[in-house]
Amino acid sequence: MLLRKLIISAFGLTVLILGGHSFYSHRHLKEAVVLGPGVTDVVKLGDYFDGIAGSINDCNLYILDSGNPGATILILGGSHPEEPASRLAAWLFVENGLMTEGRMIVALSANRSASTVTRLSGAYPSDFTILTKWGGRKFRMGDRWSSPLDQWPDPEVYIHSPSGQELAYVDIRNFNRCWPGRANGTITERACFAFMEMIRKEKVDLVIDLHEAELQYPVISTIVAHERGEELATFVSMMLPDMEGFNMGMEFSPKALHGLSHREIGDFSDAVSLLFEAPEPFLDATRGRTTREQLLTGIDEFVVKAGKAGLLFEKIDEKGWHIDVRIGRHTSAILQTMESWTEIMPDRPLSCEGVPRYAEVIENSTGHYLHNPATSSKVLYE
């Protein structure tokens, strides 16, 4: 009987050690960031609010200052780290961007805690690799919600501050349901509060929150705009098909839906807030095998079948939605937004060079624009 107990316990211990090692490696995986020619400073989010300093959500903020007059734009990557194109598009700005007018602030891991955990019962891979000419760059696959290791327990119902709106309990760990944040709240709420402080102190004019969505989600391939950003978003939406070769709709931020960046940043600061959504079949509930390949190519027979049944809000065929396409949509949409902003407000221009657009990312692939940390002198880690 003792031998039987030992054998059974050995099985459990093996799963514990191997599984535990995988979780530990995932949480502590260092993602290299090669600072591009345009990065003039790197500060911490905690510099703007002590309540987040030193915590897992004290993320890096990359500043690309042209030194010339203009507006300030904030790019939020990693609000939901299970949407990798949102992080990687921001990455291309940090590694390649050079501002020639105005200033850009970039967050690659807006909710860093959520980038260190994968979704329970989601069977996500712990990481994925973007191939480059010199090898590959490994990134953490994340979750929609902050890790319970950083924020636990959850309440039975999440009551949003300050609106008092009731939301599902897990959304208290959802970075894009916690805006404008609370100084004495949970780590997710404090991270949002810290960003709001930064937006106010740095006098940010324009915030773009990058996302990806499942194809069965009605808000997809679109710009969600706060009412003060309606003119800008409409302009961008009109320009994209002709200038970049893809469509992106425009929607108004619902006034009754609280906690989202496009609503609360606009309401609680002077910044114009926009949210961009790209399609990510990996997030669809009807997806087939959950693999790294599916994550990167977006090819999925079952999602195509759901599309044929009219259940999706974006087209999909056998070619899927490759991550290069999704990243290219984001980089082009950001660059087009800066150009449109400058046309609307020529006295506060924004201009950026060196970042690949939609067609270039598809032609050369994302890896072409990621630089080798081994041969670079300015490398930081996320």
Q: Does 344 bind other proteins (CB under 8 A)?
A: no
Instruction: Compute CA distances 264 → 55, 202, 227, whole Å.
Output: 24, 17, 11
Q: Does 31 bind other proteins (CB under 8 A)?
A: no
Closer to other proteins by Cβ: residue 161 or 269: 161
Q: Which of 1, 133, 347, 375 binds other proteins (CB under 8 A)?
A: 1
Supply 335's token pair: 């660059």
Q: Does 216 bind other proteins (CB under 8 A)?
A: yes
> Which residue type occupies 333?
A
Q: Does 3 bind other proteins (CB under 8 A)?
A: no
Interhelix angle 84-96/323-344, nearest 10 degrees:
60
Strand partners, 72: 103
Q: Could you tell me where the DSSP H helices lie in 269-357?
A: 292-297, 301-308, 323-344
Phi/psi at 145 (nearest 5 deg)? Answer: -115, 150
The CA distance from 323 to 83, in Å, is: 10
SS3 143: coil
Q: Which of 361, 337, 285 is nearest to 119 (CA)?
A: 285
Closer to other proteins by Cβ: residue 96 or 151: 151
Q: Of 97-105, 161-169, 191-199, 370-378, which segment contacts other proteins by CB under 8 A?
A: 161-169
Site string for other proteins, 271-310 (x = CB under 8 A): --------------xxxxxx---------xxxx-xx--xx
The CA distance from 171 to 147, in Å, is: 12
The CB-of-251 to other proteins minimum distance in angstroms stands at 10
Q: Which of residues 242-271 bind other proteins (CB under 8 A)?
A: 254, 256-258
The CA distance from 145 to 267, in Å, is: 24
Q: Does 366 bind other proteins (CB under 8 A)?
A: no
Q: Does 342 bind other proteins (CB under 8 A)?
A: no
SS3 304: helix
| Count of residues touching other proteins (by CB under 8 A) | 69
Site string for other proteins, 88-117 (x = CB under 8 A): -----------------------------x
Closer to other proteins by Cβ: residue 170 or 380: 170
The CA distance from 379 to 207, in Å, is: 26
Q: Which of 3, 54, 133, 155 binds other proteins (CB under 8 A)?
A: 155
Q: Does 168 bind other proteins (CB under 8 A)?
A: yes
Interhelix angle 230-244/323-344, nearest 10 degrees:
120
Give the residues lining the site for other proteins (CB under 8 A): 1, 4-5, 8-9, 11-12, 14-16, 18-20, 22-24, 117-118, 120-123, 126, 148-149, 152-157, 159, 161-162, 165-172, 182, 184-186, 216-219, 254, 256-258, 285-290, 300-303, 305-306, 309-311
